[in-house]
């Protein structure tokens, strides 16, 4: 038996990171807490921790089988994920297939506009600055990721988008956009980290045409659309069914 006492390494808005007996492995606990608009709006989505941890585990495991290196190791409990310890790169990488959210606010594009090609965007991970959009030149200026890493992250983001679109299409869900984060391991190798869940994706139900009723993601919480828990559960059910079908 290990006598390791887990130490809380970091607590974020939706997750807590704990140490394990192995310094190269961390335990992520997924909380039910929900925040939006840079934590100006706070609440709880009952069961979210388990649902998001389960969806993220399925997707990360599946992406790994498709050649995307990820931090995922195991899901020992519904709301706990064992991950490889990485240094998180301080950028949020957003991929968009359909215009929504900040893209519409900042460009005037109408929500729902299908983009001719997936759009990859980088945002600075800095709550005090409100996670601003970065240009390639600003990325180079800040020197937080090298130009080679920007290219590698872009390539991964596009590949992950293509795979996730394939997966969600099979679930009768449109992948509108999503945010991912990457980290580097002790050898400097880039791994897909953090989570992929209804908190970090925009997901629209293909079986519904109404613009509000079809929303299956955190926009239900952001915009007070109601039935948030049901929507998250429905994503989990479809993702688990699709994972089962893929393994059959």
Residues that bind ligand UDP (CB under 6 A): 92, 94, 100-103, 131, 177-179, 200-202, 218
Rounded to the nearest whole angstrom, what is the least distance from the CB of residue 131 to ligand UDP in the complex? 6
- Cβ proximity to ligand UDP: between 80 and 177 the closer is 177
Query: In terms of CB distance, is 25 or 88 closer to ligand UDP?
Result: 88
Q: Which is nearer to ligand UDP, 44 or 102 (CB)?
A: 102
| Element holding 32 (H helix, E strand) | none
Distance of CA 191 to the CA centre of its chain: 13
- For ligand UDP, the nearest residue by Cβ is 101
* CB neighbour burial string for 75-96, b if at least 16 within 10 angstroms, e if fewer: beeebbbbbbbbeebebbbbbb
Give the orientation angle of helix 147-170 with respect to helix 48-65, to 10 degrees.
110
Distance of closest approach, residue 174 Cβ to ligand UDP, in angstroms = 12
Backbone angle region of 88, left / alpha / beta, with phi > 0 → left and psi within -120 to 50 → alpha: beta
Nearer residue to ligand UDP within complex by CB, 146 or 212: 212
Six-digit token pair at 47? Answer: 């069961």
Burial (CB count <10 Å: 0-12, 13-18, 19+), residue 210? exposed
Minimum distance, C-beta of residue 52 to ligand UDP, in the bound complex (Å)? 11
CB of 55: closest distance to ligand UDP in angstroms?
13
Nearest approach, Cβ of residue 5 and ligand UDP (Å): 32
Question: DSSP H helical segments within 134-215, as ranges?
Answer: 136-142, 147-170
Provide, rounded to whole angstroms, the least separation between the CB of residue 124 and ligand UDP. Answer: 11
The residue among 77 and 159 lying less far from ligand UDP, judged by its C-beta, is 159
* Greatest Cα pair distance in the chain: 59
Helix, strand or coil, per DSSP, at residue 234: helix
CB of 219 to ligand UDP, least distance (A): 8
Map tokens 């952001």 to a residue: 222
By beta-carbon proximity to ligand UDP, the closer residue of 80 and 217 is 217
CB 80 within 8 A of CB 17: no
Nearer to ligand UDP, 27 or 180 (CB): 180
């Amino acid at each position: 038996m290990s006598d390791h006492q887990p130490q809380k390494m970091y607590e974020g808005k939706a997750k807590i990171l704990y140490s394990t007996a192995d310094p190269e492995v961390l335990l992520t606990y997924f909380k039910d807490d929900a925040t939006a608009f840079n934590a100006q709006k706070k609440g709880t989505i009952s069961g979210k921790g388990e649902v998001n941890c389960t969806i993220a585990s399925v997707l990360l495991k599946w992406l790994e089988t498709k050649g995307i290196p990820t931090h995922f190791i195991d899901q020992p409990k519904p709301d706990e994920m064992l991950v490889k310890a990485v240094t998180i790169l301080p950028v949020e990488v957003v991929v968009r297939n359909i215009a929504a959210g900040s893209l519409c606010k900042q460009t005037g594009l109408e929500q729902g506009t299908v983009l001719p090609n997936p759009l990859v965007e980088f945002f600075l991970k800095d709550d005090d600055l409100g996670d601003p959009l970065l240009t390639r030149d600003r990325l180079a200026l800040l020197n937080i990721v090298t130009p080679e890493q920007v290219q590698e992250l872009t390539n991964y983001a596009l590949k992950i988008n293509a795979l996730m679109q394939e997966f969600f299409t099979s679930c009768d869900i449109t992948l509108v956009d999503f945010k991912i984060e990457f980290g580097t391991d002790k050898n400097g190798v880039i791994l897909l980290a953090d989570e992929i869940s209804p908190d970090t994706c925009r997901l629209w139900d293909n079986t519904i045409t109404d613009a509000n009723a079809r929303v299956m993601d955190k926009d239900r919480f952001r915009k007070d659309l109601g039935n948030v828990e049901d929507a998250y559960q429905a994503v989990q059910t479809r993702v688990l069914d699709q994972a089962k079908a893929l393994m059959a």
